[in-house]
Structure 1
Amino acid sequence: MTTAAKLRQRSLLGVKDLSAEEIESILDRAQHWESSGKKIHNAVPDAIVANMFFENSTRTRFSFEMAAKRLGAQVLNFSAAVSSVNKGESIYDTVRTLESIGIDAGIIRLKPIGVLPEIASRVSVPLINAGDGNNEHPTQALLDLYTMRKHFGSLRGLRVAIIGDILHSRVARSNLWALRKFGAEVCFCAPPNLEAPELDAPYVTMDEALGADVIMMLRVQLERHESGMIKSAEDYREHYGLTVERAARIKGHAIIMHPAPVNRGVEIDDELVEHPQSRIFQQMANGVPIRMAVIERALRG
């Protein structure tokens, strides 16, 4: 196998092109890390990992940083807000700069779609996609699958309803592509102007969505209100929010999920965030072992 091919295998640019076996191996390795009694490991003690975030994030960046440090790696945190990118330095040049000074892997979040594969093909360190535009968010999908597998034991046959702004959601896309590899049934529920017709999945009503095994709410980008894509937060809650009244109608075995951060009282009522059937904070916790598995894969193959 060529060096370039090995590098592609260690990078994680998306879940769309991963096989079910590759995904399952990451989930299994995450289970190993979660079950370990140790807080800090020396799995990659000499490695240096760079968090390169060209788009703001708190939870994802901290989760990746925690994962890398638990593996024993050193972490460089890069923020576009305080970098030369604001002075005109390209994203590629920034990645090449960090590669040149000796990083072993890069975790990257950026707004442009389609840029990441090109950058990955031109550098000699593995890259991990921490979210690119409205294209993919692979580690979010992996931690979501991990959360579902822990609760249900298997993904096959699960009915997953993803509710919200499908048009702009990388979470919806990655989950759709990943879940289908395991025989899960995915449906969407969204305001008509926030549907993504290019995605091959059925759209259902809110009432129909409540019958799913997994109710996955998406964060409402409240700035969409300013552009007129949603009428108001109140109107969105009335028609597409998971209210206490609606939650009373979900199945007893069903779970509530959300990629966070949560707009309490908009896409989900405040009382439901830590409801017994909610797995929102468990999802966040599961992000660390998943990202440990992904970083380990990038560094060690």
Structure 2
Amino acid sequence: MTATSNAALDRPEAPRFGHRHLLGIEGLQPHDISALLDLSEKAIDVSRQVEKKLSTLRGRTQINLFFEASTRTQSSFELAGKRLGADVMNMSVASSSVKKGETLVDTAATLNAMRPDIIVVRHHAAGAVQLLARKVGCSVINAGDGAHEHPTQALLDALTIRRHKGSLQGLIVAICGDILHSRVARSNLLLLHAMGARVRLCGPSTLMPAEIERLGCDVYTSMPDALDGADVVMMLRLQRERMHAALIPSTREYFRYYGLDAAKLRFAKPDALVMHPGPMNRGVEIDPEVAESTQSVINEQVEMGVAVRMAVLDALAHHLPGSNLDPSSGER
């Protein structure tokens, strides 16, 4: 495969993603989600080729702006952009003007003056990515904002599930752990509910947001009850760095009641998938043997992450000024 023989992931018959930014799952329709998942399937095929380079974003600039430390998400977005031919710049906030007191609005103005085509942003404050998107003239992707949303994580989780179960419709998905501080939980809840899955949230009451059931889920404080008959068990990291009070007695006590071990997993269906967005705290929210069992798809989630981010970048490429990716044009 060469860069010009398959310049973009999609084909003329593929449904077009109708959004300039990806700021969250909220606001997306089921057909938007399905379109991105279908496009991700094509990205998987590309990523498994010997020659992985496409020309979708050739000549375009992608800036990865991460205000929080990240290994998986940032490297995944970097790899996705490069596989689509973009010039990718990783901006180090630790050595930037932000550390010298520059506001987010000023940072947005500075970046906008550089005329990037796509900015991928992770920020510790909920709503910060939406603010930046209003201040720049390019497409913006939310790579996680506070405890608000992490849309590409939800998409890659959905892709992983769909590839194993065929559909999300009617599945019982138990999301367990630190729900309070988790943007992953919120984005997954929104996506899974939109696609017809039944979502159960489980965790101690101190780590459960108030009135979260309004988003269309059932809330449990008992792992056996939450996992009973589940098709998917998604464990979340205990985010101690975001806790400003003693919300759990100890990590040992937490694992006893809310850590996923073989005994608790037996309450789920025999073919239930075990998932975790990473990084894992082994022995805190998940037993190492369960994480490495045949039911675990944790490493597969990492592969799906690159594919989903390629798909999102490809989908947004159609909205870039001067895009030549119209199906009626020659090269795609």
Q: Please report the TM-score for the alignment, with normalisation by the length of structure 2.
A: 0.85
Report the Cα distance in structure 2 between the residues aligned to 1:251 and 1:173, rounded to whole angstroms.
24
Counterpart contact for 2:238–2:285, Cα < 8 Å: yes
SS in 2 for 1:98: helix
Using a 3 Å threshold, how does the CA distance of structure 1 residues 168 and 236 change in structure 2: closer, same or farther? same
Structure 2 alignment gaps of length 5 or more: 1-16, 320-332
Contact 2:169 2:196 in 1 (8 A): yes
Q: 1:7-51 CA distances to partner (integer Å, 9 max, x unpaired)?
A: 982200000110010111110111011113342212211111000
Deviates more, 1:273-282 or 1:215-224: 215-224
Q: Given that residues 225 and 231 in structure 1 are in contact (C-alpha distance below 8 angstroms), is that contact kept between their aligned partners in structure 2?
A: no
Q: Please give the residue correspondences for 1:168-179 in structure 2 after superposition, counting only pairs within 5 Å.
A: 168-179=181-192
TM-superposed CA distance for 1:224, in Å, is 6.1
Q: CA RMSD in A?
A: 1.7
1:162 partner SS: strand
1:61 maps to which of 44, 69, 74:
74
Q: Which residue of 2 aligns with 1:158?
A: 171
Moved more, 192-201 or 7-16: 7-16
Q: Distance in 2 between matches of 1:101 and 1:176?
A: 36
The reply to whether residue 214 of structure 1 matches residue 227 of structure 2 is no
Structure 1 residue aligned with 2:283: 265
CA distance in structure 2 between the partners assigned to 1:17 and 1:226 by the alignment: 31
The equivalent position to 1:203 in structure 2, one of 188, 210, 219, is: 219
Q: Distance between the aligned counterparts of 1:130 and 1:12, measured in 2?
A: 9
Quick one: which amino acid aligns to residue 18 of structure 1? L
Equivalent in the alignment of 1:3: none
Identify which range, 14-23 or 92-101, moves more after superposition. 92-101
AA in 2 matched with 1:31: E
* SS at 2:201 equivalent: strand
Give the residue type in structure 1 aligned to 2:92: S
Aligned partner of 1:252 in structure 2 is: 270
Cα 1:252–1:297, aligned 2, differ >3 Å: closer, same or farther? same
Q: 1:120-199 maps to which residues of 2 (within 5 A)?
A: 120-199=133-212
Q: After the TM superposition, which of the residue ranges 287-296 and 203-212 deviates more from structure 2?
A: 203-212
Q: Which moved more, 1:222-231 or 1:93-102?
A: 222-231
User: What one-letter code is carried by the residue in structure 1 that aligns with 2:55?
Assistant: N
1:23 aligned to 2:45?
no
The 3 A distance-change label for structure 1 pair 8 and 134 is farther
Shift of 1:81: 1.1
Letter in 1 for 2:76: S
Q: What is the distance in 2 between the residues matched to 1:22 and 1:225?
A: 35
More helix by share: 1
- Which residue in 1 is equivalent to 2:329? none
Over the matched positions of the two proteins, sequence identity in percent amounts to: 46
Q: How many residues align?
A: 296
Which residue number corresponds to residue 253 of structure 2? 235
Work out the CA distance in 2 between the residues paired with 1:98 and 1:115: 15
Cα distance in 1, alignment partners of residues 75 and 68 from structure 2: 14
Distance 1:129 1:137 in 2: 7
Shift, 1:225, TM fit: 7.1
Separation in 2, partners of 1:171, 1:125:
25
Q: CA deviation at 1:247?
A: 2.5
Given that 2:58 and 2:84 are in contact with CA atoms closer than 8 Å, whether structure 1 keeps it comes out as: yes
Name the amino acid aligned to 1:268: I
1:47-105 Cα distance to aligned partner (Å, 9 max, x none): 11000001111111001001001111111101211111011111222232122112111
Inter-CA distance 225–297: structure 2 relative to 1 (3 Å threshold): closer
| Structure 1 residues not aligned, in runs of 5+ | 1-6
Aligned counterpart for 1:32 among listed residues 17, 33, 42: 42
C-alpha separation in 2, matches of 1:151 and 1:224: 33
1:229-283 deviation per Cα after TM superposition (whole angstroms, max 9, x unaligned): 1211111100100013223443222100011000011100111112100011100
